[in-house]
Amino acid sequence: MKPLTLYLRSRSVPAGLAVLLGCAVTLWALGLAVDNRDGRSLLVLLATVAAVVAIAPGLAGPDHDLDRVAGIAWSPRRAVHVVVAAAIVVGLLGATAQIGDPMSGMALIARNAAGLAGLVALGAVTLGAARATLLPILWAVLVMQVTPPMGAPPDRPVYKEMLTWLAQPIGSTPATVTAVILGVVGTLAYALFGSRR
């Protein structure tokens, strides 16, 4: 068996891809049923959270000790894993959101997926892959509780835009900077330290 195939199977990538496809199909089906602009934006946000959360189980192998003593460089592989997973989420959901009457722009999905992937990676480093989903889910729930309807003018002051980056419009520079920082820091931390046991 080829090393890449072994790696993908050990990281539950086929199951994760099935969940991502399910998120894309669900987003498409619900997009047909909902014609409210805020509702459609919320659907895209929830689908992005669900799709990114699906990559969490693949951030750790079945045997932590074996990963630690393996004679290969894990750091680049870990970084590529997070980046490719986020890119697949953006590609699938971005294409789905553009079918028919567009639900969201590709840039907004890319920003949110990058930030959420960073949160999942940080969750894997601090809490372990099994609980890595807690950070992005809690952040999304809190943001939905305190944020005005999507598409509303950006909140001021700047720290509010940074904390509610998930729900800010794509023109919000603080929201974009926050998502990029979360994505980069999370990916680097995961690349260097891997998943906690």
- Mean pLDDT in order along the chain per 10 residues (197 residues): 72 79 85 81 89 88 63 80 93 86 86 96 92 93 74 66 89 94 96 87
Burial class (CB in 10 A: 0-12, 13-18, 19+), 110: buried
pLDDT of residue 120: 96
The total number of structural domains in the chain stands at 1
69 within 8 A of 76, measured Cβ to Cβ: no
Spatial CB neighbours of 169, under 8 Å, sequence gap ≥ 6? 108, 150, 151, 154, 175
Residue 26's domain comprises: 3-193
Instruction: Give me the count of residues in the chain.
Output: 197
pLDDT of residue 13: 74
Taking the CA atoms of 30, 31, 32 and 34 in sequence, report the sign of the dihedral they define: positive
Can you tell me the distance from the alpha carbon of 141 to that of 38, in angstroms, rounded to the nearest whole number? 16
